[in-house]
Every structure is written in C-alpha cells, then in structure tokens.
Amino acid sequence: MSIGGFPSFVEEMKVFQRERLNGHYGVAAFVISNTISATPFLILICFLSGTICYFMVRLHPGFAHYIFFVLNLYASVTVVESLMMAIASVIPNFLMGIIIGAGIQGIFMLVSGYFRRPYDIPKPFWRYPMQYISFHYWALQGQCQNDLKGLVFDNQYPDQPKIPGDFILKYIFQINVNRSKWIDLSVIFSMIFIYRILFFLMIKVNEDVMPWIRGHIARKRIQKKGPGSTFSKTPSLRGYVVDPELGPNES
C-alpha cells in the first residue's frame, strides 16, 4: 500500500519544498505534522482490516491477542510508510522510488525467517545485520508467538502425546520463546522513530549539504579550466531602447 502511494509522497515533498522556500514552516514542523496527520487514518485502516481478518481466520482467541495483532499490523504499516517517506525525500522520481522501495522490502522479506528459517540464512550480511534491521523479522516472530504460544495441538499418531505450541515455535520456526512478543513489537515501534529521524536528516542534508557540495564541485571545475578560460560574454542589452515610431535604436 505504501509503495503504491509513493507518488503521493513525492507530491507532498514538492509542496513542502515550495512552502519551505516561502518560509512558512521548517523541516521539524513538517515531519511532526506529517506523522500526526497520517496516524488516525493508519489506525482506522489497520483496526478495520485487522478485525475482519482476525475473526475470519479464527486466530488465537483472547482480547490481548487481538490487540497485539492489530498493533503489530499498525506498526508494520507505519514503519513501511516512514521508510518510503525517507526514500521520497532523496529520490523524486516515481519509478526509481518504487523500484528502490520494493527492492528494500523484498530483501527484508527474504531474511525475515518465513521463506528460509533463521538458522538456515547465511550469517555474513544476510543474518547479521540484515535480518535484525528487517521489520518483517520482528513482526513475524511476534505474531507467531501471539498465535501459537499456549496452544496444544493433536498429534497425527493417536498413541503419541500432544504437541505444544512452544515446541513448534522453538524447533520448527526456530523462534526464541524466552523473548516476549511485546519486545518484538517495541522494536518495530522504535524503527518507526528511527525512520522518521532518518527522514528529517535526509531533508536537512538535501537542504544544507547538497547545495554546498554542488557549489564545491562547480568551483573545482572552474579552477581546472585555468585563469585563461572564461565564460563567453554576451553583449549587454541594458542600453538597448525600442522606440515604437523610429524602431530599435542604440542609446
């Protein structure tokens, strides 16, 4: 959803740049107001769709499990929007922004532990640090604990004991059952804050640092040309007067 809405993020950045040049508000005011204005709509979307999905699929019953499911969904959607806003602040092109955003989330999904179990993912780069900076990893770990922990499942062999949910989490999904699911949720909320700070810093870099870098590069190019090479001069039109009766004359 946030990837599909990337063009609207770019349009918001264009409006902000015009308002910023007019001196109406600063970067911090824009980031805070953008976060506050988007929050009610994201909450409404997540609670409506999450409620329908939760009771339709018949997930782990209980109000605490329901609240965790909805909050986990809200945190995941919000962190994706924060990530796409950070990308939109430096990449104004629609197509390139969608490609980069989809690529980043695709990598996050691959290392989340769903397609390959966490212990099967190569440790260099993919597991450390990519798996731990992927919000999909924390959302999946918390949701699996929310659904399976505390449940007991029948064994396919009648003479064998029942299978507890903790056994499935630990040995099949390779999830640390000693870590609370609320810790996983808090990590996602901390990622929202980090991406918003990154969004703020990227705007400040584009506003303050990039003009200095472009000016420095231009000065270096002029110095390489040497003192003898100057820009071509054009005749001044300051003294050029046009008389409607006599035609153009030089003053």
Exposure string of 37-49, with b = 16+ CB inside 10 Å and e = fewer, is eeeeebeeebeee
Measured distance CA(31)–CA(37) in Å, rounded: 10
3-class secondary-structure state, position 173 = coil
Q: With 60 as the cut, is the pLDDT of residue 132 above it?
A: yes
pLDDT tens digits for range 86-100: 888 888 788 888 899
Specify whether the CB–CB gap between 75 and 162 falls below 8 A: no
| Entry pTM | 0.81
249: β partners: 241
Q: Which helix (H) or strand (E) holds 163?
A: strand 163-164
125: left (phi over 0), alpha (psi -120 to 50) or beta: left
DSSP 90-140: T---HHHHHHHHHHHHHHHHHTSSSSS-GGGS-TEETTEEHHHH-HHHHHH
Q: Which helix (H) or strand (E) holds 248?
A: strand 247-250
Measured distance CA(214)–CA(155) in Å, rounded: 67
pLDDT tens digits for range 201-216: 998 888 887 778 888 8
Q: Across all residues in the chain, what is the average pLDDT?
A: 86
Q: What one-letter code names the amino acid at 186?
A: S
Q: With 50 as the cut, is the pLDDT of residue 251 above it?
A: no
